[in-house]
Amino acid sequence: MRVGVIGVGCSKFGVRRDVTLQEIAFEAVKEAVVDAGVSREDIELSVVGTAGTRSYELMPAVPVNEYCGFAGRGPLRVEAACATGSAAVYAAYSSIKAGLVDVAIAIGCEKMTEVDTATSLAVGGRGGSYLWEFHQYGTTFPGHYAMHASAHMARYGTTEKQMAMVAVKNHRNAARNPKAHFQKEITLEEALASSYVAYPLRLFDCSPISDGAAAAILASEKKIKELGVDNPVWISGVGYSSDTANLSRRKDYGGLMATVAASRMAYKMAGIDNPLKQLDVASVHDCFTIAEIMAYEDLGFCRKGEGGRFIEDGGSDFGGHIPVNTFGGLKAKGHPLGATGVAMVYEVVKQLREEAGSLQVDLKNYRGLTHNIGGTGHFGWVFVFEV
């Protein structure tokens, strides 16, 4: 039995002091319900994905569910750090696949600006092994990815310029996305002149602290036919993995094992043996620019160590081998933790339905990929979509 996405919605990302967590979730839910052409009564299960570590709502699933009109249908709350949204999509997918329900909604939402930057930084530093890393050494989330960047640069010759090129590309895409946190292009010179946050990562190498929400409505193939939906986007591949909580126990800092394992699982399920030839678009996890470069390699878009050259040669831009992060990525679209994975689904669904406007890619295979990482490779999720 196939499972398809029949409706998607996404709020405006950014500093959203104009709304509560419930209200920003409703923005995405309302759009998704209208997009699917169903009523809220048709939805049997609501899965709320939120890390909930920076919001006044420590147990947000029930208030979000109630405000969005799904009281009594769930709610199920999931958490997988920055990959929480993908975990919500997977829970909805699995419930349908198991035959428990025919229609489910995944709601990813986060209000990260409810706390100050210092508090947010401290919370992010607890994303792995608190007692070993944060408590003992005070590591931060930028610090974690700075270790990856340093290792990649030392081993493969990756440069700060190449990392900055990721930021320039994604800001250029976000400038044409009205829902993006940052809607302004930057130059390579500006990126390279920005101050260091955690060497070698500069300010423009880092994703922002964002508020936002996204929603995706999934349905069984039988229900899709019954509802008369004529433009479903099918989930043809699913992959997931994880890695050690303690980074010191990992063998390699030049990539993320969770990405490699999750992508291979998803590719096998979707029948993909050459992603560059069989995929048209990808939304990958670029919480820091080095993360996107490692993703090129770990997802099989290029050989190990060639990610820097891949961005430099335009391989991930429009007209390149595979357009990556066409809506701006986490880097410029924004990164509200719980919303990110679902917003990736929103992007790829819009692309495969040829509804991306000025950001539309050329489609040949009508297949796209989402790649979502939680923590510093602590969780890894990959989905393949097709029409």
- Taking a C-beta distance cutoff of 8 angstroms, is the pair 329, 373 a contact? no
Percent of the chain that is helix, strand, coil (3-state, to 5)? 45, 20, 35
- C-alpha to C-alpha distance for 9 and 367, rounded to whole angstroms: 20
Bridge partners of 3, per DSSP, are 220
- C-alpha to C-alpha distance for 387 and 373, rounded to whole angstroms: 25
Check 171, 285, 321, 335 and give the catalytic one. 335
Sign of the CA dihedral 134, 137, 143, 145? Answer: negative
Active site residue 335: yes
Burial of 7 (0-12, 13-18, 19+ CB in 10 A): buried
- C-alpha to C-alpha distance for 217 and 338, rounded to whole angstroms: 16
- C-alpha to C-alpha distance for 64 and 75, rounded to whole angstroms: 9
Active site residue 206: no
Residue type, 331: K
Check 10, 68, 82, 109 and give the catalytic one. 82
Q: Which residues are catalytic?
A: 82, 335
